[in-house]
Amino acid sequence: MTVFFLNCLTNAVLALISMLVGSMATLVALKLRRPRAGSGAPSATSPEDSERTNRAIEQIRQLAEDVANDVGDHNVALEGWSDQLDAARQKSDDQGPEIQYVVSGMLEANRQLSARLEEAERKIACQADEIRTQQADARTDALTNLPNRRAFDVELAATLGRLANNGDPCSLIIFDIDHFKQFNDAHGHLAGDEVLRSVARTLSNQIRTPSTAARYGGEEFAVILPATTAERAQTAAERVRAAIEKTSVVHEGKTLRVTASIGVSGALQGDRQRDIVRRADEAVYAAKAAGRNCSYWHDGCTALPVAPAHEASSAGSALMSGKPTSTLGPITVEAASLPSRQRFVESLAARQQESKNGDAPLSLLCFSLLEFPQVNQLDKEDSVRLLCDYVATGINSAFRDVDLIGGLGRGEFIVALPGTTERSARIVGERVRTSIASQSIPTVDGPTHLEIAVAVAAVECDGSIDDAISCVRHDALAKSGLEAELASSV
């Protein structure tokens, strides 16, 4: 009778183990497959990643079925041993050896099932690790090994959630590698990749847990600073900026110097992700307008310098240092070299086509030089050309490499700002206009300041880029009473 109860108890325990293993496999599969709720991160994955995940999940389910089948086979075997046990008990002669044989058989069956269960558990754990690895890969930037934009969005949402629930302070740093496009153009994309990796290593060395450093996109990086006030974040930003400034990248025997323009924003109660990111972005624009290689912070109303702004980096100012520049300072961009209106529209349309975030805001800024005073020692034609190049240089130095700049004609420029709202673009445009207009121009009539009109327009998701350009250009010229000129040039 004791053996009979042992048999029943063994069956019950093994059946329970089977159910638990199957349930565990199903729960692991569902948990790993389900997107994280409320993360705000994109849920789309590549077909290869989806296939890899589905294959691992299917193997887990198959293992659970195999375990259930093993338990079923085990029950059949135990029933056979149980029948032999009953037959042995009915014999009148010595039952000991036969019962011992039956019990040994039952124990061996249990041992075999236990081994199969352990093997199944090991395989399930391996498949779960495979899925977790795939998920980690999906949240890691392959080039820099930093968390990517998806991981950044998840962490920022969680950090702002703690602010809303507990009042914990937090801050955000966003920075842009200065003149990154010129690294690529002058030295090739391999050099650009090495610059990104080097900056990522420097950033990782400067940031400690629980802060999160991420590659925000392109040449932009971001740092989430939980439990950190805006004042402390400014100190961290300057530490990062100084470390990057000391960074040198050796590529093909050349030593490349790197700098960054940094924006800082402290989180405010009620902030959404786009709010704190917008303010940090505005601070980045202010840092670029101030000459790059400096840090600005946003106090909720305007962007202010963290430390005295540096002179423009030598790498940027020396691009065309051999060219005569009068007294206006170095000219690094020729207006005539900027994309025409048609090329600008085509390039921007291609970017939108390639973009995975079709809902991101897109704003246009139009700058119009209203007067062309004659510069000392130059005739009128050369003065116009020099002033246009000067304004083009000022505009180019103030924007991110991800922004697109084009020329619309004599003294007119258009800038596309991906991911920037109309409100933020207006603030940036006014800051750039003020920066350029603040410089004294030596003319035949004495020192003067350039008059520049600026207008902004948002491009709707399904709207025409060309129509938006016409609209923003009209607004810029309307501010100066030049509608007639616009009408005649369209």
Of the candidate ranges 43-47, 147-151, 261-265, the one whose mean pLDDT is the lowest = 43-47
What is the percent of the chain where pLDDT is above 70? 71
Whether the per-residue pLDDT at 301 is higher than 80: the answer is yes
Confidence bin at 50 (pLDDT 50/70/90) = low
Mean pLDDT for 38-48 is 46
Confidence bin at 33 (pLDDT 50/70/90) = very low
What is the percent of the chain where pLDDT is above 90? 31
What pTM value is reported for the model?
0.59
pLDDT at position 134:
61
The owner of tokens 């030598």 is 314
What would the pLDDT profile of 69-87 be if each residue is shown by its tens digit? 667 676 777 677 777 766 7
What would the pLDDT profile of 434-447 be if each residue is shown by its tens digit? 888 888 888 888 88
pLDDT at position 130:
63
What would the pLDDT profile of 401-429 be if each residue is shown by its tens digit? 788 999 998 999 999 998 888 888 998 89
What would the pLDDT profile of 207-225 be if each residue is shown by its tens digit? 888 899 999 999 999 999 9
Q: Which residue has the higher pLDDT, 347 or 93?
A: 347
What would the pLDDT profile of 177-195 be if each residue is shown by its tens digit? 998 988 888 888 898 999 9
pLDDT at position 43:
42
pLDDT at position 127:
66
Whether the per-residue pLDDT at 321 is higher than 50: the answer is no
What would the pLDDT profile of 447-470 be if each residue is shown by its tens digit? 888 999 999 998 887 678 888 898
Cα distance between residue 223 and residue 378, in whole Å: 48
pLDDT at position 178:
93
pLDDT at position 405:
94
pLDDT at position 285:
93
Catalytic center residues: 219
Whether the per-residue pLDDT at 488 is higher than 80: the answer is no
Whether the per-residue pLDDT at 433 is higher than 80: the answer is yes
pLDDT at position 153:
94
Whether the per-residue pLDDT at 267 is higher than 50: the answer is yes
Confidence bin at 123 (pLDDT 50/70/90) = confident
pLDDT at position 44:
44
Of the candidate ranges 3-7, 99-103, 312-316, the one whose mean pLDDT is the lowest = 312-316
